[in-house]
Structure 1
Amino acid sequence: MQTNRLTKEEIFKWCSIPKEELKNQPNLKTKLEIRKDKATVMTELGNMMADEVIKHNNQGIPTKWVLPAGPTDEYAIFVERVNKERISLKNLWIFHMDEFLDWEGRPLPVADTYESLEGTMNACFYGRIDDELNVPEEQRIWPRINNIDYADEMCEKLGGVDTVWAGIGATGLVAFNEAPRNYCYRLTVDEYAKGKTRIVELNDDSMLAMSQRSFGCCLDRIPPKAITIGFRIMLSAKRCIYMVATGTWKQTVCRIILFSEPTTEYPVTIIPAYVPDVTLMTTEDTIDHPLAHEMKGW
């Protein structure tokens, strides 16, 4: 399975469709759920997470997730329900997407800082859950440079993942599975889909986006490398929920998610070819696009 690079004509066409007409388009690659704003999306996502754990607990089966360290607003809703309703997370397994590394490919200190995704999750997720309900530490699976195959081995042992809760980058990254751009080798979609946990050097556009969003475009604050789970783990899932509610920054990638065939140019497009249930949850302003309002004929 392989597609060529997307053409600008394709992208312009997809971006020019009025948002009111998107759900009626033929051959959408994912389901599309549009809510009025980010708060509404994140509240619904947090409730979906809690409902899935409750359902599996009642069935006496484990819940297996892939979670990002961003977005995180949905975790507040989830944690509130866990503590209030006494929802046990003792049978929840979490595969964390990625972790930053320094320029030499080594982990940074675990702390409540931007550079530590594990620290971020401790602060906004694990650290807010009552101890008697919390996910056991051995079930919080982080990609590690000293045991790089562990996450893939555990995913296989557990029989795959239930849900990938996926934040998406503006150029289609999922975790740090970015578009491979090394001119010395080319990867097909099938090869990339089988990708395992690995150390990566971040693409320049991702570093620019992260630095602009958080640090006034101070590029030196962004670690240049990361360790990321590959698509091998994520494509074992029964469903994937794309969580995209950041407005203009993601308007184009949302259109590509909906219409594009699988391509390594936008890795997020690979998921619907392998995961049976994929939904894009987004907001009114994120799914809109300026090309759909562009004046023509003047």
Structure 2
Amino acid sequence: MSDFQFEASQWVPFKDKAVIEKVRAIKRVDIEKHANPDFKITVYPDADVEYVWVTDLFTRIWKATQTNEKLVLILPNPCPSYRHVVRLINANKVSCKNIYAFAMDEYADERGRIAPADWKYGFTYAMFHYFYDRIDPALRPAREQFVGFTDHNINDYGKMIEDLGGADVCYSGPGWTGHLAFIEPDAPEFAGGLEEWKEMCARIVTLSPFTLAQNSLHGSFGKSGDLSAVPPKAATIGPKEVIRAKHRVDTHSITVHGTTTSWQRLMTRLVLHGPVTPQIPESILQTLRTDVLVSETAAMDIEPDWNKGY
């Protein structure tokens, strides 16, 4: 059989063939193993991952109420999951007065102007519409305690979190490029060596073409591959905000509508077991106290399926 060799496309951010081949070969039985005991990888049945995430967030909110302590959250955009958290809050009459929540990212236009909070495709809109606004008014925190990116606060976003004592937890999940929030591996705004990169804070970033493709499959954009529907830039937290959080919960469970097709399967292996490098932004979590939730589908062995096309 012919041995056809080629180099990865110029658009692929991380190209080390030896590393990719190594992580591609990681089997399901080995994916939970890691040298850092504070980096805890657990594989769950697909149907359980969302409930584990919901349980973690609700439990933190409940404990903050019991101890009357401040809880500072950096939140991603799992819109349906927020509704489950709110049902538990309202059913148990859990006060959220001590919660301070920050959206981890938001879209921006080609000039770097951040999408307004009432833009229904945005992450700030989702955080309010699916989370804050559904909390019983008697249980809600002050509205200013839920914060999204704006043109006015982008330069102070990291400081706003720091002034509250830093985030207690940062929730995340890898994008197709290995991005965390919108910390893209090939964005000029995040160019630099590892130590310099680790100190970079919130900023406007140019989105990768792969991120545009990934997000064009979101239900909010019609799940139709409409690349033109996704804004070209975004506001995002930086590595500094992630690293300074007291804890992190990272979720790997994205599939194409419940099938075994997942663009996340290879990136999960690179993030969890590849080198720690700005070229794989989520890899920084390997050095930090993090709970990683991986679905069985994301953990599946990577091998050809000759009975499938797309």
Work out the CA distance in 2 between the residues paired with 1:223 and 1:24.
38
Work out the CA distance in 1 between the residues paired with 2:292 and 2:63.
22
Per-residue deviation at 1:181? 4.6
Per-residue deviation at 1:212? 3.7
Q: Which residue of 301, 304, 307 maps to 1:289?
A: 301
Q: Which runs of 5+ in 2 are unaligned?
A: 1-12, 256-261
Q: Which residue of 270, 286, 290 maps to 1:272?
A: 286
Structure 2 partner of 1:163: 169
Work out the CA distance in 1 between the residues paired with 2:205 and 2:123.
16
Q: How do 1:173-212 residues align onto structure 2 when only pairs under 5 Å count? A: 173-182=179-188, 186-212=191-217
Matched, 1:102 2:114: no
Check conservation: 1:165, 1:242, Cα contact below 8 A. yes
**Structure 1 counterpart of 2:143, one-letter code:** E
Work out the CA distance in 2 between the residues paired with 1:25 and 1:226.
32
Runs of 4+ in 1 over 6 A off after TM superposition: none
% same residue: 26
Structure 1 partner of 2:22: 13
Q: How do 1:39-188 residues align onto structure 2 when only pairs under 5 Å count? A: 39-69=47-77, 71-111=78-118, 113-114=120-121, 116-182=122-188, 186-188=191-193
Check conservation: 1:257, 1:269, Cα contact below 8 A. yes
Work out the CA distance in 1 between the residues paired with 2:132 and 2:34.
41
Inter-CA distance 147–123: structure 2 relative to 1 (3 Å threshold): closer
Residue correspondences, number: 285
Cα RMSD, aligned residues only: 2.4
Work out the CA distance in 1 between the residues paired with 2:247 and 2:190.
31
SS in 1 for 2:172: strand
Check conservation: 2:190, 2:200, Cα contact below 8 A. no
Structure 1 partner of 2:233: 225
Work out the CA distance in 1 between the residues paired with 2:45 and 2:83.
19
Inter-CA distance 137–25: structure 2 relative to 1 (3 Å threshold): closer
Q: Which moved more, 1:190-199 or 1:71-80?
A: 71-80
- Asked which structure has the greater RCO (Cα within 8 Å, sep 6+), the reply is 1
Per-residue displacement from partner, 1:136-165 (whole Å, max 9, x unpaired)? 211112222223233222222112111111
Work out the CA distance in 2 between the residues paired with 1:217 and 1:185.
27
Work out the CA distance in 2 between the residues paired with 1:5 and 1:251.
15
Q: Which runs of 5+ in 1 are unaligned?
A: none
Per-residue displacement from partner, 1:242-278 (whole Å, max 9, x unpaired)? 12211312101111122123111110011332x3x21
Q: TM-score, normalised by structure 1?
A: 0.87
Q: TM-score, normalised by structure 2?
A: 0.84
Work out the CA distance in 1 between the residues paired with 2:230 and 2:305.
35
